[in-house]
Structure 1
Amino acid sequence: MLLLAFDTATPAVTAAVHDTERRLTLAQRDRTDARRHGELLLPAIDEVLRAADVPKEQLGAIVVGTGPGPYTGLRVGLATAAALGHALGIPVYGVCTLDGLARAAREAGQAGPFVAATDARRKEVYWAAYDAEGRRTGGPDVDRPAEIAERVAGLPAVGAGALLYPEVFAAPAEGMPEHQSAGALAVFAAEELAAGRELLAPVPLYLRRPDAEVPKNYKTVLPA
């Protein structure tokens, strides 16, 4: 089966086409720009489909990162996945973004229990803990780094969140991923499906309320 995978829950806009039968990622494109998810995602999808020489009608499923991540960027990926899945009549599967990051770290050589962390802004991180096999053992959660210092002490760390707070997280080893990888996201999903395990529904994993909110009290403007 051919999977189209993409994620917009981190500053990286990443897309890939993966062949589950050959266990091979046919094409991947990554662009880091936290402010242009909406502009970059569809061109990235078009690029990987062309590079893989895969017409969209041949896709068997879509895999999308469900976060946790900032509200706006995350919604771009999920809305696009829902629209494409509906238009093509194929299933859409969700994968926790931190699980994809952890799978990328394992592919880069990360061994033993470790922590994956991304930037949650507001001086917080989204994070989760993983065992030596890369299975999630805790999280995902959103916390201030100082609040989880004892829980992550002594564990190797990967991701942009770890880089931002070196006083709490161990420095990532050389070559470890900073942001999400759609190729790793697709590999994780393919392995879960092959093992008969259910993936997440393609709905956003926010963990907290969005930064932008509708004002609760409006000013009363009286006619002059």
Structure 2
Amino acid sequence: MLLLAMDTATPAVTVALHDGDSVVAEDTRVDARRHGELLLPAVDRVLARAGLKLDAVTGLVVGVGPGPYTGLRVGLVTAATFGSALGVPVHGLCTLDGLAYAAGLDEPFAVATDARRKEVYWARYDDSRTRVTEAAVDRPADIAERLAGLPVVGAGALLYPEAFPEARGPEHQSAAALAALAAEKLAAGGEGFLDPRPMYLRRPDAQVPKNYKVVTPK
């Protein structure tokens, strides 16, 4: 088994290789505006560090979000393209699940990432492998009471300490954690993956103007 994992649903452009037992190589760069520029070079670096070629990969793992429209699509389209070219499966995982797994907590907690517009994407967990709510998007003040007393992991929590006083790291997504979680799921029979399609939770930031006039040739 050789899994190539990637996630671009957050400002972290993160890539990792996992051989079924451990992480072979990983690369993470944080830049919310350069997902398209950073992802393929990150893949090249990870493969080079492992001394492998892309055709050695036996499966793809990709974070499906939630996340902003443009950045999220970069990872999903790249994973789908690699999967098609190599003829290997593409396994989708919730981005929040990767952060939860990286946190390694064995108690109830939550994960929150920055959703912009003064909102967070979030979900609750019983432990680092068990999500107990669907991912959602809300203003921090609107969910502060529901998450009171719980540790809250991720950049979204760290941005709003008044709403999440138990905020803690890891701050950014890690493809290494996503790959390790996927390897566990595959070893257990391959259950629990998502379709590799974007989880947006809301409309894109870019919208067609309401009074936009369509001009057609006569």
Task: Please state which band the TM-score falls in when normalised by the shorter chain.
Answer: over 0.9
TM superposition shift of 1:2 = 0.1
Letter in 2 for 1:207: L
TM superposition shift of 1:195 = 1.5
Aligned counterparts of 2:42 and 2:98: Cα–Cα separation in 1: 18
Counterpart of 1:12 in structure 2 is: 12
Counterparts in 2 of 1:190 and 1:216: CA distance versus 1, 3 Å: same
Counterpart of 1:45 in structure 2 is: 43
Gaps of 5+ in 1: none
Counterpart among 28, 32, 37 of residue 30 in structure 1: 28
**Secondary structure of the corresponding residue to residue 17 of structure 1:** strand
Q: How many residue pairs align between the two structures?
A: 214
Aligned counterparts of 1:76 and 1:86: Cα–Cα separation in 2: 16
Q: Hey, which bits of structure 1, 4+ residues long, moved more than 6 A?
A: none
**Secondary structure of the corresponding residue to residue 49 of structure 1:** helix
Aligned counterparts of 2:90 and 2:214: Cα–Cα separation in 1: 45
Query: What TM-score do the two structures reach when normalised by structure 1?
Result: 0.92
Counterpart of 1:89 in structure 2 is: 87
Aligned counterparts of 1:204 and 1:53: Cα–Cα separation in 2: 31
Aligned counterparts of 1:92 and 1:169: Cα–Cα separation in 2: 34
Aligned counterparts of 2:5 and 2:128: Cα–Cα separation in 1: 22
Query: What TM-score do the two structures reach when normalised by structure 2?
Result: 0.94
TM superposition shift of 1:219 = 4.8
Counterpart among 178, 189, 194 of residue 187 in structure 2: 194
Counterparts in 2 of 1:133 and 1:72: CA distance versus 1, 3 Å: closer
Aligned 1:163-202 pairs, distance under 5 A = 163-173=158-168, 176-196=169-189, 197-202=191-196
Counterparts in 2 of 1:220 and 1:85: CA distance versus 1, 3 Å: closer
The answer (yes or no) to whether the contact 2:61–2:182 under 8 Å persists in 1 is yes
**Secondary structure of the corresponding residue to residue 138 of structure 1:** coil
The answer (yes or no) to whether the contact 2:62–2:196 under 8 Å persists in 1 is yes
TM superposition shift of 1:132 = 2.9
2:149 maps to 1:154:
yes
TM superposition shift of 1:133 = 4.9
Letter in 2 for 1:105: A
The answer (yes or no) to whether the contact 1:10–1:69 under 8 Å persists in 2 is yes
TM superposition shift of 1:220 = 8.4
Counterpart of 1:78 in structure 2 is: 76
TM superposition shift of 1:18 = 0.4
Aligned counterparts of 2:200 and 2:214: Cα–Cα separation in 1: 33
Q: Cα deviation per residue 1:128-156 (whole Å; 9 max; x = unaligned)? A: 11113530011210001111111100001
State the identity %: 66
The answer (yes or no) to whether the contact 1:17–1:183 under 8 Å persists in 2 is yes
The answer (yes or no) to whether the contact 1:118–1:127 under 8 Å persists in 2 is yes
